[in-house]
Structures are given as structure tokens and as C-alpha cells.
Chains A and B, each alone.
Chain A
Amino acid sequence: MTPLLYASSGVAVFAIALYRIFTAGDVLRKIIAANLLGGGVFLILVAIARRPAAGIDPVPHALVLTGIVVSVSATACALALARRLEGTTLDDGDDGDDGSDDTEVAGRGP
């Protein structure tokens, strides 16, 4: 029965993280949410691995281990970018602006 319990808690964490990643204003909170999103899925995976009476199914464990490493890499990368970010949120400034700050050339276009 315990696997279902943990699985449902995993779903809860997943849902909360999903909700907050889209509504959070601050970049850091979004990154935390991204991390927890992964955590939720891993919870479900390990809960699934726990079910068979015969013994624990090692494959989900390997999957979760790989997942955690990937999640850490993503979070580290996100945080590194967050450190270099000027504004606080990601939505200020739209996409189709006039392009004067073109990345290509240091000098300003006329």
C-alpha cells in the first residue's frame, strides 16, 4: 500500500511544482519549481519500483539516478544563467523589438 501513498504524494509535489513553474514571478522560484517537478516524477518512479513482492525492481532506481543527475545539471545551468540575468523576470521585453541591439555586431547599427 505504501507505494501508492508515496506515488500520490509524488503526484501532489508534481502538481504543485507544475502550477508554480508557470505562475511564479521570480526566476529562482521557477527554478526551484523545475527541480521539484523532477522530484515528483522520481517519487512516482521509485514508488512503482517498490511494488513487486519478489523484490525491488532496480531499473527505475537506475532511471531515477540518471534523472537526478540530469536534474542537477539543468538546475546548475539555470542558476548560472540566473546569476547573469539582469532583470528579475523572464517576461519583460518582447521578442519582436527593433533589433538594434543585435548580437552580431558590437557596434550599433545606424
Chain B
Amino acid sequence: MTGAIGWAILIPLGGALLAAAAGERASRWIAALAAAATTCAAIGVAASVARHGPSRHPAGGWLAPLGIELRADGLAATMLLTIAAVAGLVAAHALADRSRAAACARSCPLWLFTWAALDALVVSGDIFNLYVTLELATLAAVGLVADGEGPDAPRAALRYLLFALPGSLLYLLGVALIYGEHGALDPATLGAHVGASAPDTAAMALMTAGLCLKAALFPLHAWPVLAYTRASPVAGALLAGLVGKAAFLVLVRLWLEVYPATFTSAAGPVLGTLAAGAILWGSLHALWQPRLRAVIAYSSVAHTGYLFMWFALGTRDALAGALFVVMSHAAASASMFLATGAIARALGHDRVEGLTGLAHRLPIPFFALALAGTSAMAMPPSSGFVGKWLLVRAAFETGHRLWAAVMLIGGLLAAAYVFRLLRRAFLPRPAGEPIAITRSSGGHAALALALVAIALGLAPGLALDLLRGGSAP
């Protein structure tokens, strides 16, 4: 299946286009088929990487310096699988939801485009191509947010767009400078030439700053929160779960392949400080948010902090840990968003007080929230723990005791804000609150995602081998 990597991008693209053109019922079938096929493609890529190790697929047949290369290595394979799992299950939720069938004509193409963009981003081997994939993901995400029913959707979408644009354009300026200096766009050749010259430094600074804004690293963290709290569950799940991680993955590619380690080691502590800030600031705010979605949004801010800790630590294990946090948080936050969606539909609002006495009334969404919460607070046996363990251990190995302490305190704060939600579920239900118990289809997808987060924690060996098997060069 050498072409699997191509299919992983073309199928969602084609599916999106067909869904956009098709009628209401047909678009749902097309979207479902596309989702299934893309998942198979992703599995195909992962299988080939696991068996034969990394492979290069020059798009259009043009080799490295000239054309764009698609690379299927360990990092790409694991991320493809994660995207397939999360986007697939979110799609299942969107399609299974009878009441919002009409919306599929509008939203199905958008989340298929998002899926295609993320797949393209993860496998892309060209820094300009990364810009295009980032833009596609952002625009599709803006479309999804704009699709929300509330009156505030356009404002949330516009804010999201106007904050994302400067980030990508700073990145583009960085690309321009690097091309100006080395006349090449693929990481392989760039890696060899990029040094500490003025244009390279400026490019690294611009690209990193731009991507930090797009990844919403503290203190640039506030802009996506409005979008998360206003988006529909599907949009929220995709945004917080996957799109939020795209910029980080691009930065990982850059720092691994384009910028030489010595050159960026000086910038590492800067990002480390911001990451620590993100963990503490995000967790603190998640602790007292009145609304469930806001809690999940700030939890994502905190988890972005864990991701960026790799830049300060730099070891291979730390990278495996950060990527594990990507996987576990993608599944966990998506599951939490879907669960919140189901709960909000039943209660009419998503305020935290609404959770009181919910354990028996809405068992499946509650259980999904609990399992996802376990992963969010990085408690064993979830995959969140595996990620945090690798990061904390790497921190101690490289002597960064402060970062280790921050991560551990972050874990405790995470437990605080998760249990603030869960403890209410056991209290008796206040008499007055009506609950519209509809057949909460949202719950099952949320539970499936939460189980993915837990299963990954129980058998991380597979994912770690895949990561190392086709290890990034």
C-alpha cells in the first residue's frame, strides 16, 4: 500500500468536495464512507511504517529540493492514527445525530477538510506546504465555529480567524527568509544548511512566535477560548482536540529537522518558562470556570503547556512523552466536548452546577467525562499518565527539577478541577431541575473516545514502538 499516504489526503478532500455538492441525505453517506476510507488509509500508512520503517513519497514525482515530499515516519504514522481515531469518532457522532441531519450538508465538508488538512500537515515535508495545510485547517475550523447556532458564533469565528492570520503570516515571513537564505523548502536540505546567521535567527524567531500564537501557548492562550465555548460539540471537539495541536506538530518538525539542536537549545528555556506558565495558569483558571466548556478550554491551555515542555527538555523520551500527551489530550478533550454536548442538550445549559446528581441520570456521558477526566489529570491507567511520566522523568534526567515540579503540581491542579466536576455527580439530584433524557447519541461517541484515551494508557507499547519504529530522522 505505498499509495496509502496519498489516499489519506485525497479521500477526505474528495469526500468533502462530493459532500458539498451532494444533497442532504447523500452528503451524509458520502461523509461516512470518506471517514471510513480515510481511517483505513491511515492504518495502511501506519502498517507500512511499522513494517518497513520511514518512507518518502515525492508528490508529483518531483524529488526533494524541487518538489514536495510526503514523509511517512513514526511521528507521522502515530499522528495519522490519532487524527483518524478522534476525527472518525467525532464524525460518527455528527452523522449519527438525527436531529442535526440538515446541518451535515454544511458541516460535513468542513470537518472532512479539517481532517484532510491535518493529515496533509502531519505528512508534509515542505515548510511552505505546512503553511497551506495550517491555513486550510484554520479556515475549515472557522467555518465549523461559524456554523454554530448561537448568536455569538460569527463573533467567535471572526476572532478565531483574526488571531490565527497574524500567526500564519509571521510563519510565512519566516519561510520567505529561509528560502531567501538557502533557496530550498524541504527540511532535509534545510537541516544541513541552516546555521545561526541573521536571516536564520530571524526566521526561527518569527516562525516559532507565529506558531506559538497559533498553538495558543500562554500568554497567547486566550483567543481560542471564546471559540471553544461557543462552538458546537463537533466543532469544539475537533478544534480543541486536533486543530489546536497542529501548530505544535509543525513546530516539532521544525525544531527536529530544520533548526539544528545547538541553535535552538538557547531558545528552549524561553519556551519552557511559557509552558510552565501555561500549565499553572490554565489549571488555575480551569479550577473556577462556571461553565463546563470553559473548564475544558482552560484544561487544553494547560495541556498545551505540557506539550511545549519538550522544547525545554529536548530528549527523545521527552518527545515521546509530549506526543503521547498530544494523543491522550486529543482523545480526552474531544470526548469531554462531546459529553458536554450531550449533557447540555439534556440540561439546557452547561453550567457546572448542572452536573449535580448526574451519575445515575445520564450514565454514559458522565462515565465518558469521568474516564476522559482521568486522562486529563494524567492519572494511571490513562494515556495522559504515560505522557506525563515520560516528561517528568526526562525533566529529572536533564536536571530541570523546577519544570518537573511544575508538571507535578499541574497534575494535582488538574485532579482538582476534574474532581470538582465529578464529585457533583454523586450528590442527590436537586428536585427542580428538569432533564430532557433524549437518546443521547453523543454519549456513545464520547465514551468510545474516552476508552481510546484509557486503552492507549494500558498498552502504550504499541504506539511507542510505532513512534520509535519509524522514528523521525
Contacts and interface: CB of A to CB of B under 8 A. Distances in A.
Complex contact flag A–B (Cβ < 8 Å): yes
Interface of A: 14, 18, 21-22, 27, 30-31, 34, 37-38, 40-41, 44-45, 48, 57, 59-60, 63, 66-67, 70, 73-74, 77-78, 81-82, 84-87, 90, 93, 95-96, 98-110
B294 A104 contact: no
B50 interface: no
B176 A102 contact: no
Closest 8 CB pairs of A and B: A109-B349, A103-B150, A109-B348, A99-B291, A104-B344, A48-B180, A81-B158, A84-B154
A82 B158 contact: yes
14 contacts: A21-B165, A34-B162, A37-B165, A38-B172, A48-B176, A74-B135, A90-B159, A95-B226, A96-B291, A102-B349, A103-B153, A104-B232, A104-B344, A110-B434
Nearest to B143: A77
B348 A110 contact: yes
B116 interface: no
A4 B96 CA distance: 57
A41 B291 contact: no
A22 B354 CA distance: 38
Nearest to B352: A99
B162 A110 contact: no
B330 interface: no
Interface centre among B173, B185, B293 (most CB of A within 10 A): B173
B253 interface: no
A102 B344 CA distance: 8
B173 A14 contact: yes
Given A74-B139, A86-B155, A41 B172 contact: yes
A64 B331 CA distance: 37
A79 to B, nearest CB: 10
B399 interface: no
B158 A85 contact: yes
B444 interface: no
A110 B290 CA distance: 15
Given A102-B348, A104-B350, 18 more contacts: A31-B162, A34-B166, A44-B177, A63-B175, A74-B135, A77-B139, A78-B162, A85-B154, A86-B151, A90-B155, A95-B294, A99-B294, A99-B351, A101-B151, A104-B149, A104-B341, A105-B349, A108-B348
Interface in B345-389: 345, 347-351, 354
Contacts of B291: 96, 98-99
Contacts of B153: 103
A96 B350 CA distance: 12
Contact of B146 (A48, A63, A81, A110): A81
A106 B289 CA distance: 23
Contacts of B350: 99, 102, 104
Contacts of B294: 95-96, 99
A82 to B, nearest CB: 6
B88 interface: no
B154 A41 contact: no
A95 to B, nearest CB: 5
Contacts of B172: 38, 41, 67
A110 B229 CA distance: 19
A28 to B, nearest CB: 11
Contacts of B132: 66, 70
Contacts of B150: 101-103
A77 B136 CA distance: 12
Nearest to B172: A41
Given A81-B146, A96-B294, A98-B290, A27 B349 contact: no
A95 B176 contact: no
A72 to B, nearest CB: 11
Interface centre among B150, B169, B349 (most CB of A within 10 A): B169
Contacts of B162: 21, 27, 30-31, 34, 78, 90
B387 to A, nearest CB: 27
B263 interface: no
A67 to B, nearest CB: 7
Given A73-B139, A98-B351, A103 B155 contact: no
Nearest to A52: B183
A107 B179 CA distance: 54
B173 A103 contact: no
A92 to B, nearest CB: 9
A102 B152 CA distance: 10
